[in-house]
Amino acid sequence: MNEAAQHVMAVAKREWRAYFDSPVAYVFIIIFLMLAGFFTFSLAQFYEAGQADLSGFFQWHPWLYMILVPAVAMRLWAEERRSGTIELLFTVSVTPLQALLGKFIAAWLFMLLALVLTFTVPFTAIYLGSPDGGTIFSGYLGSGLLAGAYIAAGMFTSALTRNQVISFILAVVIGLFLILAGYPPVTDLLSRWAPMWLVDGVASFSFMPHYEALQRGVIDLRDLAYFASVIVFMLFATQVVLKNKVSR
Partner 1 sequence: MIKAQNLIRDFGPRRAVDGVSFEVGKGTVLGFLGPNGAGKTTTIRMVSGFLPPSSGTVFVKGIDVAVDPVSAQKSIGYMPETTPLYEDMTVSGFLKFIAEVRGFSGAERNSRVDRAIERCFLGPVRNQGIDTLSKGYRQRTCLAQTLLHDPDILLLDEPTEGLDPNQKQVVREMIREMASERVVMLSTHVLEEVEAICTRAIIISGGKVVADDTPARLKTRSTKYNAVTLRAEGGGVAETLGKLPAVEKVQVLEDGRVVVFPKAGKSIAAEILATAQEKKWTVSDIKVDEGRLDDVFRQITATEDTKKKEAA
The residue ranges that bind partner 1 (CB under 8 A) are 3, 6-7, 9-11, 13-14, 17-18, 21-22, 83-88, 90-95, 246-247
Q: How far is the CB of 243 from partner 1 (least distance, A)?
A: 9
- Integer Cα distance of 104 and 124 in angstroms: 32
Q: To the nearest whole angstrom, how small is the minimum distance from the Cβ of residue 96 to partner 1?
A: 10
Nearer to partner 1, 20 or 205 (CB): 20
Closest separation between CB of residue 167 and partner 1, Å? 18
In the chain, DSSP finds a helix count (H) and a strand count (E) of 15, 0
List % helix, strand, coil for the chain (3-state, nearest 5).
Answer: 80, 0, 20
Half-sphere exposure of 4 (CA within 13 A, CB side): 6
Could you give the C-alpha distances from 44 to 49, 50, 103, in angstroms and in order?
Answer: 8, 11, 34
Nearer to partner 1 among residue 7 and residue 61 (C-beta): 7
Closer to partner 1 by CB, 88 or 225: give it.
88
Element (H, E) at 87: helix 85-89
Closest distance to partner 1 from the beta carbon of 115 (Å): 24
Nearer to partner 1, 2 or 130 (CB): 2
